[in-house]
Structure 1
């Protein structure tokens, strides 16, 4: 696997969301939940990992209410909220993972959409997708579902990267030929898995962004 793309045969582009289209800070929610619960951040991280909550939520094994209730149970040590935090409090802390969305990336996606079939494939949660779409709306931009021909969210398809099954699902559902498809993702394991299926997988690594990785398209 390498980052060389055969532009001659290229017809389709699949984008990851976090740190490809929108910058993220994976540690921010843990810091915020730690502050809310008045607990050491290390303890919050340990509890989070022990219960494997993110994977369950992002693969649709628990819904929004189940996710929030599990958080209330995990962090019920909070003396200021003995009945549990409000939904909005949990959602706000969870959404701190999302940083400012660069408009130039959205513009680039729209440009590429004039030439290629575009898709979105993300390990994500409903709370995050609703927030990203609110941000896009406030910017006067289309929602994710309108920016791309089709979106594939892990919680809807009940699969997650880097499982090869999620790539097979996308290829089959969208009727794509792997060798005619470029995939942009910031996670090396996701890239390696996609590449084994013949997808032209490109590892997005800062400080370069999709602007540089798609400059020749």
Structure 2
């Protein structure tokens, strides 16, 4: 029986808006997303580079944009956080061990906390035994070491742990380590349907 749930953050709990982010960056002069930007983003998500180095690295691809312009565009990735999802987490937090494991960078986390306000994000964080953002632990999914870090840190049983994510590569990595999984389909499913869809049977 499942006694632990590990949630991804973006598009599982909080909504994101990648399209607006890309549109805004293109208005600033970005021609297309490329491998260099993907590598830069991964390093930033792992906390391997500072915010300043991340933004200046981005600026090389859009030299006419200021660092503030780039930061502002990057913050647009964070959208709304439906209240029903917070209430859902609060309702199940007494019956399950809850964790977050997310490839989040510091700009996105700061934007979430700014938009949500201290009362909301305080209530949110209290639902979890521990929140793991990749930039804080230096590991990101789908690397197995990210999952193992949480499992070993809290002595979790993979077969009694459910991992919820919207990205197939992360789901497959978790499944390979023996975790139960729910590949949530964004726009078609909502995390609040966890029990009505019988992902977890009670």
Q: Would the aligned equivalents of 2:56 and 2:67 in 1 still touch at CA under 8 Å?
A: no
Q: Would the aligned equivalents of 1:133 and 1:143 in 2 still touch at CA under 8 Å?
A: no
Match of 2:16 in 1: 24
| Equivalent residue runs for 1:1-217 within 5 Å | 9-37=1-29, 39=30, 43-46=31-34, 49-51=35-37, 52-76=39-63, 78=64, 84-86=66-68, 89-137=69-117, 140-142=120-122, 144-206=124-186, 207-215=188-196, 216=198
Give the CA deviation at 1:134.
2.0
- Between 1:19-28 and 1:196-205, the stretch displaced more is 19-28
| SS of the residue 1:159 aligns to | coil
Which consecutive unaligned segments of at least 5 residues does structure 1 have? Answer: 1-8
Give the CA deviation at 1:179.
1.0
Q: Would the aligned equivalents of 2:98 and 2:129 in 1 still touch at CA under 8 Å?
A: yes
In 1, Cα distance between the equivalents of 2:61 and 2:123?
33
Which consecutive unaligned segments of at least 5 residues does structure 2 have? Answer: none
Count of aligned positions: 196
In 2, Cα distance between the equivalents of 1:60 and 1:36?
25
Give the CA deviation at 1:165.
1.2
In 1, Cα distance between the equivalents of 2:49 and 2:61?
15
| SS of the residue 1:65 aligns to | helix
Give the CA deviation at 1:141.
4.6
In 2, Cα distance between the equivalents of 1:134 and 1:212?
27
In 1, Cα distance between the equivalents of 2:121 and 2:132?
20
Give the CA deviation at 1:144.
4.8
Q: CA RMSD in A?
A: 1.9
In 2, Cα distance between the equivalents of 1:144 and 1:124?
16
